[in-house]
Chains A and B, each alone.
Chain A
Amino acid sequence: MLERIFIFLFLPSVLAAQLCKPDAPEGFKVRLSIKTALQDEAYEWDGNERFLFQATLAFAMSRHTRQEFNVSNILVCDETPRVSFWFVVTSPDDPSQLINRGKVEAAVRMSRNRINSAFLLSDETLEFVGILPTLAAPVEPASPPWLIVFGVVMGLVGAGIVFLLVSTVLQKRRKKNQEGDEGDDDEEARVKTAENGCRSDGIYNTSFSEDEPNTQM
């Protein structure tokens, strides 16, 4: 009678020791980098944290498979000071049966966010070795911003060119009208001076000094 009680008491832990070991075929290695993620607010890894891990994994498995998983179905072993350990998941119907690795991976993938936030960690700091996180898509704005800036710049430049050309044309027209009036005045003055008989020396005409006096090829 006593032996049976002993066997019943120790069987689960013996079974657990056999089911969960490093490099177990249906097991996963988990690595937490609490100090890297939280620095001053880092918590110590103890039995309570381990319990939380088992609870969240049970939650993830229940969510994915629609079966009821219990904390005792998640077996954790080989804890190291790094804070890394191995875990395996046993079936709720039969504690000696392990859940398929693929199913566990799918469950973890589905609830990754919830597991991360339970521990205040992220995909990089709470690693499931072998389960690659789905990468966030690169941020892409709806319309490429460079086209908008380009449009603004070209608009300003185009407006500037039009403004400069129009102002030059207007200036030239104004000059022509002015010269027309001045030309009449000049002619009258010259007629007067010619009549008066005195002549000024004339203005040095530089239009010839600008030209090339030599032949060009």
Chain B
Amino acid sequence: MRLVIPNPGLDQRIPSHQDLERMEKEQVSDRPKWDNKAQYILTCVGFCIGIGNVWRFPYLCQTHGGGAFLIPYLILLVLEGMPLLLMEFAIGQRLRKGSVGVWRAINPYLTGVGIASMLVSLIIGLYYNTLIAWIMWYLFNSFQDPLPWTQCPLNGNRTGFVDECQRSSTVDYFFYRVTLDTSTSIDNSSGIHWPMVVCLLAAWTFICICYIQGISTSGKAVYITAILPYIVLAIFLVRGLTLKGALSGIQYLFIPDVNELMNPTTWLDAGAQVFYAFSVAWGGLISFSSYNPIHNNCMQDAVMLTAITGLTSIYAATVTYSIIGFRATEKYDTCVSENIRTLLNSFNLPESSINTTNYDAAFNHLNSSHPDVILGLDLQTCDMQKFLSEGVEGTGLAFIVFTEAITKMPASPIWSVLFFIMLLCLGVSTLFGNIEGVVIPLKDLNVLPRSWPHEALTGATCVIAFIMCLLFAQTSGLYWVTLFDNFAGSVPLLTIGLFELIAVVYIYGIDRFNEDIKFMIGHKPSIFWQVSWRFISPLIILVILVFYLVTLAQKELTYLVWDPNSDVFPVQASVPYPPWISAVIFLLAGVPSLAMPVYALCRLVFVGCKQKRNPSKKSGQN
């Protein structure tokens, strides 16, 4: 019982197996090729391993039950991620085209899937490169001792520090005020912050030069951008484990809480993370696979890439939490020392009478004898758990928690430079896949003229993208980046992934697909792949998508703002979005998701009109 939607004319649109053999033997294709297999694997690894592995996965792991989170993560990695990965690899290698070309070849009504991939890649690329611009800013600023985020500027009459810096912290001030000059809300923007424009220019020119000749330049750049992060993570692992308090961080991360497995959000978050981690549905993987030789073993590649992604996530999480543990221990020690100092000063006790070991005993003794004095002192409660759990996700992790931890290490500028070079490499290698997923479809759709050389295509794309990125250089840029991060990458990717699976399994035909794989690697995919392609993966994606839409519709749209005048400062205040934000969210999430049905509908109408005008002409066209 094979459910296949009739798809006439498929054989005319795609090269047959004999054509492929002949093209392979004679090597006459002018399509770019990988210099060697290592370049291809490194490019895919770089694409899949991104900044999210450092600042999203560890947070998810820790909040959803620590070591227990690895169970749903690894299960979904194998059931959801790996089949999608193999599907994209195989279809790209077989049809030898970019994302738009592949879907157009399967069925011209499906071109919308490729267009949706391109739009999503473009939108994600815009805000991702802004993150890279921020990382570059921090990198440029790391070449000085002392680091600029260790000091507050003095106020007017030099008796104290600037109020905003005094109430929050030096790292907060440097990020929100010096780097971004954050305004108080998303619709309140006081112009463009020029250091950000400069950094955006640097980021886009850097990407431009790396990708300027397509994979012949980016293929060489990935030797550095894909390997360097692993080396830096190793250095940080050694450094981190020798710091005081690192083990408490790692314990906090991995201590399993098996009850979390009963919570559906754990599984949902694991599924979503696997989906985004693999960068499927961006279109870049299909493009990269199309440059492979026809008999490349894509099944092995898919399994290898899955294993590498899983292991790297755990590796990065360990490093991250060792540093977080160190910082939390430092803050805890400082807090306790402050309390000890206050007690010593108020009761005029000799200096070494209270230390960290006998603090509790001494405190209780003093509390029982002078409770009113103790009350008036306003001692802080030093809670290790609170320090371990604060600000450990997203930009907060990299630019606030980590930068603060680095300032406490000896020889801080070196660690800062290493850390930001690592983040830069992680981000840039993901952007290669991103920009591939934008430029190649633009070429296929004839938006950019085909006669232009690849350099001109890349240059034009980068210039236009830079101009669009100026939106993020405004003083409200931080809120726009968060908006894009939350909405541009979630629903559209899930929708596109679902459509891709349905297209390959039911429109291209799973039998034909199995035959193709047998032709390419020598044996048919096993029963595991069959079952997951047909039922398990689409079902998982559908469930995640439905839950996502339901929670999105139910919750009120709020966001966090940095407002020095708010009551809860220095904690960010939660503020509702302005009403026009729904239009923006629809543009970001709705347009790519609806691109496929809308395109199919338009084409139907167009072809129908054409046929009505020329009823005598036989519709040999599809």
> Footprint of B on A, CB under 8 Å?
31, 33-36, 80-84, 132, 134-135, 137-139, 141, 145-150, 153-154, 157-158, 160-161, 164-165, 168, 203-204, 206, 209-210, 212-217
Report the separation of the CA atoms of residues A210 and B105 in the bound assembly, to the nearest whole angstrom. Answer: 12
B252 to chain A, nearest CB (A): 30
Given contacts A153-B206, A210-B29, 6 further A-B contacts (CB under 8 A): A135-B158, A135-B161, A145-B141, A145-B143, A147-B140, A158-B205
Q: Are A138 and B351 in contact (CB under 8 A)?
A: no
A168 close to B344 (CB less than 8 A): no
Q: How far is the CA of A149 from the CA of B108 in the complex (A)?
A: 49
Q: Is the CB of A217 within 8 A of B603?
A: yes
Contact B351 A34 (CB under 8 A): yes
The contact of B209 among A36, A145, A149, A160, by CB within 8 Å, is A160
Query: Using Cβ atoms and an 8 Å threshold, which residues of chain A touch B160?
Result: 135
* Given A139-B151, A157-B206, A160-B209: A206 touches B144 (CB 8 Å cut-off): no
Q: Report the nearest A residue to B161, measured CB to CB.
A: A135
B28 touches A35 (CB 8 A): no
A-facing residues in B575-622 (Cβ within 8 Å): 602-603, 606, 621-622
Chain A: which residue is nearest B344 at the CB level? A82
Q: Give A203 to B23 CA distance when docked, in angstroms.
A: 11
Is B146 on the interface with A (CB-CB < 8 A)? Answer: yes
A-B contact pairs, 21 of them (CB 8 A): A35-B351, A35-B352, A81-B349, A82-B350, A138-B153, A145-B141, A145-B143, A146-B140, A148-B143, A153-B202, A161-B209, A164-B209, A206-B29, A212-B13, A215-B621, A216-B104, A216-B108, A217-B108, A217-B111, A217-B602, A217-B606
Which B residues lie within 8 Å of A204 (CB)? Answer: 22, 26, 28
B217 touches A206 (CB 8 A): no
A165 adjacent to B455 (CB under 8 Å): yes
- Cβ distance A137 to chain B, nearest Cβ, rounded Å: 6
> Within 8 Å of chain A (Cβ to Cβ): is B345?
yes
Nearest-neighbour CB distance to chain A for B561, whole angstroms, equals 27
A74 to B22, CA, bound (A): 103
The complex places the Cα of A214 from the Cα of B352 at a distance, in Å, of 86
A214 touches B108 (CB 8 A): yes
Asked if A146 and B141 sit within 8 Å, CB to CB, the answer is yes
Asked whether, in the complex, the Cβ of A139 is within 8 Å of the Cβ of B146, the reply is yes
Number of residues on chain B facing chain A (CB within 8 A): 56
Interface residues of B (CB under 8 A from A): 9, 12-13, 15, 19, 22-23, 26, 28-31, 104, 108, 111, 137, 139-141, 143-144, 146, 151-154, 158-161, 198-199, 201-202, 205-206, 208-209, 212-213, 217, 344-345, 348-352, 446, 453, 455, 602-603, 606, 621-622
Find chain B residues with CB under 8 A from A138 CB.
151-154
Q: How far is the CA of A31 from the CA of B351 in the complex (A)?
A: 11
What are the residues of chain B within 8 A of A36 when measuring CB–CB? 351
In the complex the two chains form, what is the Cα distance from A139 to B144 in whole Å? 10
Name the B residues within 8 Å of A206 (CB-CB).
23, 28-29
A210, B98: Cα distance in complex, Å: 12
Give chain B nearest CB distance to A116 CB in angstroms.
18
The CA-CA distance from A148 to B141 in the complex, in Å, is 10
| Known interface pairs A83-B351, A217-B603; A141-B144 also in contact (CB < 8 Å) | yes
- Given A157-B206, A204-B22: A146 in contact with B137 (beta carbons within 8 A): yes
Chain A residues, CB < 8 A from B603: 217
A209 touches B19 (CB 8 A): yes
Q: In the complex, A214→B13 CA distance in Å?
A: 7
Complexed CA–CA distance, A71 and B206 (Å): 69
- Bound-state CA distance A157–B143 (Å) is 19
Please determine whether B9 and A146 come into contact, CB atoms closer than 8 angstroms.
no
Cβ-closest chain A residue relative to B444: A212
Which chain B residue shows the least CB distance to A141?
B144
Q: Are B12 and A81 in contact (CB under 8 A)?
A: no
Known: A135-B158, A214-B12. A81 touches B606 (CB 8 A): no
Q: Do B213 and A164 touch (CB < 8 A)? A: yes
The smallest beta-carbon distance between A213 and chain B, in angstroms, is: 6
Please give, as numbers and ranges, the residues of chain A lying within 8 Å of B202 by CB-CB distance: 150, 153-154, 157
Docked pose: A161 CA to B202 CA in angstroms? 13
B458 to chain A, nearest CB (A): 10
Closest 4 CB pairs of A and B: A80-B348, A146-B140, A138-B151, A81-B350
Give chain B nearest CB distance to A184 CB in angstroms.
Answer: 22
A-chain residues with CB within 8 Å of residue B141 when the two chains form the complex: 145-146
- A178 to B592 alpha-carbon distance, docked (Å): 47
Known pairs A145-B141, A157-B206, A203-B28; A164 contacts B217 (CB<8 A): yes
**Complex interface: chain A residues within 8 A of B344 (CB):** 82
A209 to B159, CA, bound (A): 77
B439 CB, min distance to chain A CBs, angstroms: 16
**Which A residues are in CB contact (< 8 Å) with B602?**
217
Question: Which residue on chain A has the smallest CB distance to residue B101?
Answer: A212
Docked CA distance A62–B523 (Å): 98
Say whether A82 contacts B153, CB under 8 Å: no
CB distance from B106 to the nearest CB of A (A): 12
Does B622 contact A214, Cβ atoms closer than 8 Å?
yes
Chain A residues positioned under 8 Å from B455 (CB to CB): 164-165, 168
With A132-B159, A164-B213, A204-B28 already in contact, the answer to whether A157 and B205 are too (CB < 8 A) is yes
Would you call A161 and B205 a contact (CB within 8 A)? yes
- Residues B348 and A164 in contact, CB atoms below 8 Å apart: no
